[in-house]
Amino acid sequence: MSHAMRHCGFLAACMAAAFILIHPAPAQVVVNPQALRQLGGPAP
């Protein structure tokens, strides 16, 4: 069970990394909402 959960976590991390590499700006906003506020955009 723990091995399966670890495998799913690894896949999720890879998917997140790929999403950030493919869509850098939107991913940073999703991961760090404070960055959007610092840029002066609408706060989520």
Contact 36, 42 (CB under 8 A): yes
pLDDT tens, position by position, 2-23: 777 788 788 888 888 887 777 6
What Rg value do the Cα atoms of the chain yield, rounded?
A: 14
CA distance 20 to 41: 20
Between 34 and 6, where is the model more confident?
6
Q: Quick one: residue 29, left, alpha or beta (phi over 0 = left, psi -120 to 50 = alpha)?
A: alpha
